[in-house]
Structure 1
Amino acid sequence: MRNHTPCHILRRRRLMLKGFVAAPLGLRFATARAAGGKAPERELSFRHTHTDERLEIVYHDGRGYLPPALQRIDRLLRDFRTGEVQAMDPQLFDILHALRITLGGGTFEIISAYRSPATNDMLRKTGGGGVAKRSLHMDGRAIDVRLPGVPTTSLRDAAIGLGLGGVGYYPESDFVHIDTGAVRAWGPRTA
């Protein structure tokens, strides 16, 4: 008899999503192409909390990333203090897409994405801690988000469960940091 406890189902879902997010590495696309089909499109929806700009966009058509869509996302995720735009790591979007599917969420609220070195330095000096000197935000490999309707603790747990990069939890500011760096987690584990 199969175990269908909520924990067992969650473990199976996480394993499936790890495979989904690893799709850019080729396995899923190779299988879909061999079968004569294509992988599903990947879509994200954003609202930037500082500029109130919104974007709902398909960034991957099932065969590959869509450069015009990536450019529009990069523009939205710019350093809102300086206006500087940086090419963001598309794998970051794959992680967000997997989280959106896992959690049944809709629009990600963006707190911070790309940060210029000058902005990062200013935040380190005035922000009261929590800003790394060599932040992945400066490389376009990190984003701070929340997902309305989903507790940030659930977003944190789902991101950690994917095991695909760094996950930081900031309950006092109600957001989760996600990056494409080494797998690690920080912040309170209970809240």
Structure 2
Amino acid sequence: MYSVLPSKAHASRSTKGIRQLSFYNRHTGEQSEGNYWVDGIYQDKTLSAFSQVLRDHRRNEAAPMDNRLYDFLYRLQQTVNFDEQFHVISGYRSPKTNAMLAAKSNGVAKKSYHMKGMAMDIAVPGVNLKTLREAAVELMLGGVGYYPRSGFIHVDTGPVRTW
């Protein structure tokens, strides 16, 4: 019996390189930037720093964010071709915070992906919000909400959909 696989595995091009992101939390003023993915490996130290900046600022609770969300944002940054910080309006939300916000607004889902660390509300100064939304929709990597009156878009790693 023989294998059709080579005896030594070779890395594909998709596993080489560095992915970097930068965040600014509009509520706390905190910032974090770093290489979150290096040669196919997610960097735990950087991801932990990101989680702290993306925490529920109302309850001071952090939770790990979905790595696919970081990849979504990285691809969005590459597509629109900017290197500015993502301004974060909302990252992780505790169930208590989400329930409080949902009670005040019809625009907050009761089972929000924010509670699972799978969503972020973002803006990028200097990048047209409509352009950011259109690029996010075209990537087809998850949900994209458009909130022009509030000045942000929502991206998540749930099913592909728009609103």
TM-score > 0.5 by shorter chain: yes
Structure 2 unaligned runs (5+)? 1-9
> Matches of residues 52-91 of structure 1 in structure 2 within 5 Å?
52-91=29-68
Match of 2:12 among 24, 28, 31: 31
> Matches of residues 46-125 of structure 1 in structure 2 within 5 Å?
46-105=23-82, 106-125=84-103
Moved over 6 A (4+): none
Q: Tell me the secondary structure at the aligned position of residue 115 of structure 1.
A: coil
For the pair 1:163 / 2:140, whether they are aligned, the reply is yes
User: 2:143 touches 2:158 (CA, 8 Å); kept in 1?
Assistant: yes
User: 2:35 touches 2:46 (CA, 8 Å); kept in 1?
Assistant: yes
Structure 1 unaligned runs (5+)? 1-28, 187-191
Q: For 1:112-150, what per-residue CA distance to the aligned partner results, in whole angstroms no more than 9, with x for missing partners?
A: 010000000110112x32100100000000000001111
Q: Tell me the secondary structure at the aligned position of residue 84 of structure 1.
A: coil
Match of 1:139 among 90, 101, 116: 116
Q: Which residue of 1 aligns with 2:3?
A: none
Q: For 1:5-64, what per-residue CA distance to the aligned partner results, in whole angstroms no more than 9, with x for missing partners?
A: xxxxxxxxxxxxxxxxxxxxxxxx94238xxxx511000011100001011111001221
Q: Which residue of 1 aligns with 2:5?
A: none
User: Which structure is higher in helix share?
Assistant: 1
Residue-pair matches, total: 153
Query: What is the CA–CA distance in structure 2 between the aligned matches of 1:181 and 1:40, rounded to whole Å?
Result: 26
Query: What is the CA–CA distance in structure 1 between the aligned matches of 2:87 and 2:67, rounded to whole Å?
Result: 18
User: Which structure is higher in strand share?
Assistant: 2
Q: Which residue of 2 aligns with 1:177?
A: 154
Query: What is the CA–CA distance in structure 1 between the aligned matches of 2:148 and 2:70, rounded to whole Å?
Result: 23
Letter of the aligned partner of 2:88 in structure 1? Answer: I
Query: What is the CA–CA distance in structure 1 between the aligned matches of 2:162 and 2:49, rounded to whole Å?
Result: 29
Query: What is the CA–CA distance in structure 2 between the aligned matches of 1:159 and 1:39, rounded to whole Å?
Result: 24
Aligned alpha-carbon RMSD (Å): 1.4
Q: Tell me the secondary structure at the aligned position of residue 172 of structure 1.
A: coil
Identity of aligned residues (%): 46
Query: What is the CA–CA distance in structure 2 between the aligned matches of 1:144 and 1:123, rounded to whole Å?
Result: 14
